[in-house]
Structure 1
Amino acid sequence: MSAFTMAASAVGVKVTTTAKRASAKRATAKASSSAFSARKASLNGVSLAAFAAPSVAASKSSQIRALRSAVFAAAKADRSKADDPDAGKGQRVMIIGGDGYCGWATALHLSNRGYEVCIVDNLCRRGMDDSLGFNSLTPIRGIHERVRKWKEVSGKDIELFIGDVCDYEFLSATFKKFEPTAAVHFGEQRSAPYSMMDRTKAVFTQTNNVMGNINLMYAIKEFAPDCHLIKLGTMGEYGTPNIDIEEGYLTVEHNGRTDTLPYPKQGNSFYHLSKCHDSTNMIFCTKAWQMRTTDLNQGVVYGVATEETMMDPALINRLDYDAVFGTALNRFCIQAAVGHPMTVYGKGGQTRGFLDIRDTVRCIQIACDNPADKGEMRIYNQFTEQFSVNELAALITEAGKKIGLDPQVINVPNPRTEMEEHYYNAKNSKLQDLGLEPHLMSDALMDSLLKIIIEYKDRVDKSLILPGVNWTESASVGQQLEKAEKVKA
Structure 2
Amino acid sequence: MKIIVAGVDGYIGFALTQRLLSKGHEVLGIDCFLRRKEVDEMESKSAIPVADWRDRQRALEAEFEGHFSFVEMDITQSYDRLRKLFKEFQPDTVANLAQQPSPAYSMIDQSHANFTQINNVKGFNNLAWCMKKEAPESHMVTIGTMGEWGYPNVSIPEGFFRVEREGRKDILPFPKQANSFYHVSKIQTSDNAWFLARVWELKFTDVMQGIVYGSRTREMNKPELRTRLDMDEAFGTFVHRICASAIAGHPIPLYGSGKQKRPFLPLKDSVQCLELLVENPPTDDDSIMGYRVVNQLHEWYSLDEVAEKVVDKASEIGIDVQVEHIENPRIEKEIHHFEPEVEKLPNLGYEPSTTMDEEIEILLSDLNDNTERVENLGHVIEPEVKWR
Higher Cα Rg: structure 1 or 2? Answer: 1
Write the mapping of 1:261-300 to structure 2, written as runs, cut at 5 A: 261-300=172-211
CA distance in 1, matches of 2:40, 2:362: 29
The one-letter code sitting in structure 1 at the alignment partner of 2:171 is: T
| Contact in 1 for aligned 2:266/2:359 (Cα 8 Å) | no
CA distance in 1, matches of 2:352, 2:167: 41
The one-letter code sitting in structure 2 at the alignment partner of 1:429 is: E
Provide Cα deviations, 1:112-131, integer angstroms capped at 9, x if missing partner.
11010111111111111223
Provide Cα deviations, 1:342-393, integer angstroms capped at 9, x if missing partner.
0100001111110011111111111122112494101100000001111111
CA distance in 2, matches of 1:131, 1:348: 28
| Contact in 1 for aligned 2:101/2:182 (Cα 8 Å) | yes
Aligned pairs, number: 381
Deviation at residue 186 of structure 1 after TM alignment: 0.4
- Work out which of the residue numbers 366, 379, 393 in structure 1 matches 2:307: 393
More displaced, 104-113 or 163-172? 163-172
Deviation at residue 169 of structure 1 after TM alignment: 1.2
**Paired residue for 1:152?**
62
Does residue 444 (structure 1) correspond to residue 355 (structure 2)? The answer is no
Does residue 471 (structure 1) correspond to residue 381 (structure 2)? The answer is no
The one-letter code sitting in structure 2 at the alignment partner of 1:263 is: F
Q: Structure 1 residues 414, 444: CA separation in 2 closer, same or farther (over 3 Å shift)?
A: same
**Paired residue for 1:65?**
none
The one-letter code sitting in structure 2 at the alignment partner of 1:376 is: G
Provide Cα deviations, 1:14-35, integer angstroms capped at 9, x if missing partner.
xxxxxxxxxxxxxxxxxxxxxx
Deviation at residue 171 of structure 1 after TM alignment: 1.2
| Contact in 1 for aligned 2:43/2:380 (Cα 8 Å) | no
Same amino acid, percent of matched pairs:
38
CA distance in 2, matches of 1:335, 1:123: 26
Deviation at residue 156 of structure 1 after TM alignment: 5.0
**Paired residue for 1:462?**
378
**Paired residue for 2:149?**
238
CA distance in 2, matches of 1:339, 1:123: 31
Deviation at residue 429 of structure 1 after TM alignment: 1.9
**Paired residue for 1:213?**
124
More displaced, 126-135 or 229-238? 126-135
Deviation at residue 463 of structure 1 after TM alignment: 0.6
- Work out which of the residue numbers 259, 278, 282 in structure 2 matches 1:368: 278
Deviation at residue 338 of structure 1 after TM alignment: 2.0
Deviation at residue 407 of structure 1 after TM alignment: 1.8
The one-letter code sitting in structure 1 at the alignment partner of 2:362 is: S
| Contact in 2 for aligned 1:400/1:406 (Cα 8 Å) | yes
Provide Cα deviations, 1:124-160, integer angstroms capped at 9, x if missing partner.
1111122332101111112221021122234453110
Write the mapping of 1:313-324 to structure 2, written as runs, cut at 5 A: 313-324=223-234
- Work out which of the residue numbers 128, 137, 149 in structure 1 matches 2:38: 128
| Contact in 1 for aligned 2:246/2:321 (Cα 8 Å) | yes
| Contact in 2 for aligned 1:249/1:261 (Cα 8 Å) | yes
The one-letter code sitting in structure 2 at the alignment partner of 1:270 is: F
CA distance in 2, matches of 1:121, 1:190: 14
**Paired residue for 1:7?**
none
**Paired residue for 1:198?**
109
CA distance in 1, matches of 2:74, 2:346: 34
Does residue 307 (structure 1) correspond to residue 221 (structure 2)? The answer is no
Does residue 410 (structure 1) correspond to residue 324 (structure 2)? The answer is yes
CA distance in 1, matches of 2:172, 2:355: 33
Deviation at residue 320 of structure 1 after TM alignment: 0.6
CA distance in 2, matches of 1:291, 1:251: 24
Deviation at residue 440 of structure 1 after TM alignment: 4.1
- TM-score, length of structure 1 as denominator length: 0.76
Deviation at residue 439 of structure 1 after TM alignment: 2.9
Other structure's SS at 1:471 match: coil
Other structure's SS at 2:144 match: strand
The one-letter code sitting in structure 1 at the alignment partner of 2:262 is: R
Deviation at residue 445 of structure 1 after TM alignment: 2.5
Provide Cα deviations, 1:241-281, integer angstroms capped at 9, x if missing partner.
11111111111111111111111010100000100000111
**Structure 2: segments with no counterpart, 5+ residues:** none
CA distance in 2, matches of 1:222, 1:354: 37
Other structure's SS at 1:433 match: helix
Superposed CA RMSD in Å reads 1.2
CA distance in 2, matches of 1:194, 1:444: 30
CA distance in 1, matches of 2:193, 2:357: 39
More displaced, 366-375 or 461-470? 366-375
CA distance in 2, matches of 1:128, 1:344: 24
**Paired residue for 2:8?**
98
| Contact in 2 for aligned 1:400/1:450 (Cα 8 Å) | yes
Other structure's SS at 1:225 match: coil
**Paired residue for 1:44?**
none
**Paired residue for 1:181?**
92
CA distance in 2, matches of 1:372, 1:183: 13
The one-letter code sitting in structure 2 at the alignment partner of 1:260 is: I
Deviation at residue 177 of structure 1 after TM alignment: 2.4
**Structure 1: segments with no counterpart, 5+ residues:** 1-90, 473-489
- TM-score, length of structure 2 as denominator length: 0.96
- Work out which of the residue numbers 154, 159, 163 in structure 2 matches 1:252: 163
